[in-house]
Amino acid sequence: MKRSIITGSGCYIPTEIKTNNDFTSHNFYAENNVRIETNPVEVVEKFRQITGIAERRYAPSNQNASDLATLAAKAAIEESGIDPETIDQLIVAQNFGDVVSSTIQSDAVPSLASRVKYNLGIANPNCIAYDLLFGCPGWVQGIIHADAFFKAGIAKKALVIGAETLSRVIDEYDRDSMIFSDGAGAVVLEYKDVEENGSGILASSAQSHCKEEAYYIHMGKSFLPDSDPAVRFIKMKGRKVYEFAIKHVAEAMKDCLEKSGIEIHQLKKVFIHQANEKMDEAIIKVLYKLYGLKDMPHDIMPMCIHWLGNSSVATIPTLLDLVRKGKEENHEINDGDVILFASVGAGMNINAICYRV
């Protein structure tokens, strides 16, 4: 039988570190444009307690999302050992294109995937390069896309990248701006013959909830009074997103496990979108409760949000690369381990993949 197997991974972590202390001099405003009178130091500390974020990375001014994507891609290709000219699908999950530093305009023409293909020097016209917009779950959805193309007989090798420079679309007067960061992660996926209990994607699950949930994460004007309404920033209804994620993400994860035939006790790690530490922990606890289990294993969920923040589509592939290469303390994955990828984000979209290492 054939399965989609990760044969290489890579990530690029930007060099500029932005600590929570850097935000303690900010003036924050609420959605109603009224200044928050609480001392910014207290605002920042409460933020850390809720999200777990102590610092995050921003891309330097001379790098755009496509540059970060290229660096992560090169690392994944190098580890896989493949010839880049043999890649059939080059998929870049992103949400804002290239946003040049100190500008407010997204640039996605040509697509970031085309730019990455150009940067990698891939000449093969049968390497199809395209972008995928699916909110924060975009990279996971890219893997689902590649797997579907493989099963359809259209492709055998894919490069799937998640890259974002969210630091360039945030409103500095909004407390939620402290969540977001920049980064890129990538994997090479190949369709290979395996034994029945061999490596590869076992199942996937995805949903889009687009009624009132569609605008829980959206673009809107700054919270600063009298700000230019034509200039838009990423905005989030934090409580709504939290409640939505708690209810729906665990259900998608359970659906994915059931499709794969994997029992909950066989699950070794969950690579969940690094959005908010408390929210992620709550989602995993709900998953185990759906199986009638009171507690989740203490080592089930690796986290890099504490020092990398929320880099949207880049969080899961970055975390995966760190764990695969022994760079995430107290976490490792070994041959035969069953792991789960799961994400939630703007749309509102959710998805999950069950994978055997």
207 and 185: one domain?
A: no
CA–CA separation, 143 and 61 (whole Å):
30
Which phi and psi (to 5°) does residue 174 adopt? -105, 125
Same domain, 344 and 271: yes
pLDDT at residue 238 greater than cutoff 90 = no
**Phi, psi (degrees; rounded to nearest 5) at 221:** -70, 165
- Name the region of 335 (left: φ>0; alpha: ψ -120 to 50; beta: rest): beta
Please compute the mean of the pLDDT values over residues 298-318 and round it to a whole number.
Answer: 96
Looking at the fold, whether 143 and 228 belong to one and the same domain comes out as no
pLDDT digits (tens, 9 = 90+) for 145-178: 999 999 999 999 999 999 999 999 999 999 999 9
What pLDDT shows up at residue 230? 85
Instruction: Tell me, yes or no, whether 125 and 241 share the same domain.
Output: no
Mean pLDDT score, 122-133: 98
Locate 161 and state its tokens.
């990248």
Q: Is the pLDDT of residue 102 over 90?
A: no
What percent of the chain lies above the pLDDT cut of 70? 100
Kindly state whether residues 116 and 8 are assigned to the same domain: yes
Residues 50 and 112 reside in one and the same domain: yes
Q: In the beta sheet, which residues pair with residue 191?
A: 4
Query: What was the pLDDT predicted at 105?
Result: 81
**What CATH number is given to the structural domain containing 37?**
3.40.47.10
How far from 198 is each of 156, 277, 337, CA to CA, in Å?
18, 32, 10
If asked whether residues 331 and 187 sit together in one domain, one would say: no
Distance CA 319, CA 304 (A): 6
Residue range 5-25: mean pLDDT, rounded: 95
pLDDT band at 243 (very low <50, low <70, confident <90, very high): very high
Predicted pLDDT at 101: 83
Q: What mean pLDDT comes out for the span 269-292?
A: 95
Tell whether 176 and 256 lie within a shared domain. Answer: no
Residues 288 and 206 in one domain: yes
pLDDT tens track for 309-355: 999 999 999 999 999 999 988 899 999 999 999 999 999 999 999 99
Q: Are residues 141 and 29 in the same domain?
A: yes
Structure confidence at residue 307 (pLDDT): 96
pLDDT value of residue 345:
95
pTM of the model: 0.94
Mean pLDDT calculated for residue range 63-77: 98
Give residue-wise pLDDT tens across range 18-45: 999 999 988 999 998 899 989 999 999 9
Q: Average of pLDDT values for 278-293?
A: 94
> Confidence band (pLDDT; 50, 70, 90) for 104?
confident
**Average pLDDT for residues 87-114, to the nearest whole number?**
93
Cα angle: 211, vertex 350, 262; to 5 degrees: 140
Dihedral of alpha carbons 211, 270, 320, 152, sign: negative
| Together in a domain, 217 and 342 | yes
According to the model, what pLDDT value does residue 51 have?
92
Q: pLDDT at residue 115 above 80?
A: yes
> Are residues 55 and 27 part of one domain?
yes
- Per-residue pLDDT band at 61 (split at 50, 70, 90): very high
- Output the pLDDT for position 177: 92
- 3-state SS track over the chain: CEEEEEEEEEEECCCEEEEHHHHCCCCCECCCCCECCCCHHHHHHHHHHHHCCCEEEECCCCCCHHHHHHHHHHHHHHHHCCCHHHCCEEEEECCCCEECCCCCCEECCCCHHHHHHHHHCCCCCCCEEEEECCCCCHHHHHHHHHHHHHHCCCCCEEEEEEEEEHHHCCCCCCHHHHHECEEEEEEEEEEEECCCCCCEEEEEEEEECCCHHHHCEEEECCCCCCCCCCCCEEEECHHHHHHHHHHHHHHHHHHHHHHHCCCHHHEEEEEECCCCHHHHHHHHHHHHHHCCCCCCCCCCCCCCHHHHCECHHHHHHHHHHHHHCCCCCCCCCCCCCEEEEEEEECCCEEEEEEEEC
Angle ∠(216,219,220) on CA atoms, nearest 5:
105
User: Domain boundary residue among 133, 168, 193?
Assistant: 193
Measured CA to CA in angstroms, residue 217 lies from 61, 174, 240, 345, 349 at distances of 26, 14, 9, 8, 11
- What domain range is 62 assigned to? 2-193
Mean residue pLDDT of the chain comes to 95
For 294, the token pair is 């009171």
- Considering 142, 164, 193, which residue would you say is the last residue of a domain? 193
